[in-house]
Structure 1
Amino acid sequence: MTTTGQRDVVDVLIDQHEQIRRLLSEVRAAQGGRRRDLFEDLVRLLAAHESAEETVVHPSARAVLRAGHDVVDLRLDEEHGAKQTLASLYGLGVDHPTFDRRLAELTRQVLEHAANEENEELRYLRENLEPARLVAMAAEFEAAQAKAPTRPHPRAGTSRAANLAAGPPLALFDRLRDAVREWREPHDGHGA
């Protein structure tokens, strides 16, 4: 947290990483409808989180880090792999026989990525950017996340430009799909 007491982008990201770790653990332990609901929450959070990182955080890291391109490229590769695993898991559903094995793979990918991001990219951002810029980035990140897709779209690309171009239509489609699913659940007793 900055000396002004305002949360900066590093605080926001670390808090979300903790929330993601908690959700991964809860999904592993849950059963039935509770597991499905928690997994839906995890999918939405991961999709929006990564999209906002690709739009706000990674471009800033490229600009300020001495080895920024290499660090960011490694994080983007990790994110892409996790997006593919998440998309696969989402397609399988929580009741599929291989879900637990694939969830373990996703958990490994996500935890490794978060640790690498915190130890490299986020640490360097905090060391090299002014506190006011980091606070402004937190607001930019949260705005980008509010407009981000709620499902993984590994084929959409991982660059800022790809997220700005593809993100809004994908987000609209995802949010419509979410609304239909939420409407259907009380009407037919199960999700879409």
Structure 2
Amino acid sequence: MGHGGNVIQELMTDHREVEHIFTRIQQMTQGGQELRDLCDEVTIELVRHSVAEEQYLYPAVRKHVEGGDRIADKELADHGRVEELLKQLEQTDTDDSRMSPLLQQLMDEVAAHVEDEENNLFPALRLACSAEMLDDLGDKIRRAKAMAPTRPHPAAPDTPPANKILAPGAGLVDRARDFVTGRGKS
């Protein structure tokens, strides 16, 4: 969840972790509980990552990067599509014929988003911000991920200040549900 380093290092490590989970999903030959556990794992990681980016990364992009509003709006739209897919996956049985196409669509959306961030947003942010600012953002991202929800909430606000106020409460409820059900523990 928290890896250390500046915001770019932190988020790129998250990207590699999600890619690793996707590889494990692609290697599976059947559904069942193992696939559900991997879907839960990738959902938890993606939701935490997205919430943290929405709370701190995109406001910094808006403030410091030329054309930052356009960039942040595009990234938020990407997050919205991914969160809708995560909600659908959460409600789909692993043996349902819709599961595989939903997973593929999720993997495609996330891959395109990661490529865009790593090739466009991160280099622009690196040029616009000092090393100290990037380190500070990394710390904020790590704290936000620790408090973030673990389940998709597509209707939740995705911009400050509302997301900073509501996400910790949703995160607390999600983590309590996860504890009771054992979700995310395998």
TM-score when normalising by structure 1: 0.88
How big is the shift at 1:29? 2.2
CA distance in 1, matches of 2:120, 2:76: 13
How big is the shift at 1:34? 2.0
Structure 1 contact 28–100 (Cα < 8 Å) conserved = no
More helix by share: 1
Residue in 2 aligned with 1:190? none
1:89 aligned onto 2:89: yes
CA distance in 1, matches of 2:97, 2:176: 29
> Which of 4, 24, 27 is equivalent to 1:26?
24
Measured against aligned partners, the alpha-carbon deviations of 1:37-83 in whole angstroms (never above 9, x if no partner) come to: 21111110000000000001000000011100001101100110111
Moved more, 139-148 or 6-15: 6-15
Higher RCO structure, 1 or 2 (CA under 8 Å, sep 6+): 2
CA distance in 1, matches of 2:45, 2:39: 10
Taking the TM superposition and a 5 Å limit, the aligned residue runs for 1:73-88 are 73-88=73-88
TM-score when normalising by structure 2: 0.91
Taking the TM superposition and a 5 Å limit, the aligned residue runs for 1:35-184 are 35-182=35-182
CA distance in 1, matches of 2:113, 2:93: 23
What is the alpha-carbon root mean square deviation over aligned residues? 1.6
Between the two proteins, the alignment pairs up a number of residues equal to 179
- Which one has the largest radius of gyration? 1
CA distance in 2, matches of 1:84, 1:123: 28
CA distance in 1, matches of 2:65, 2:49: 21
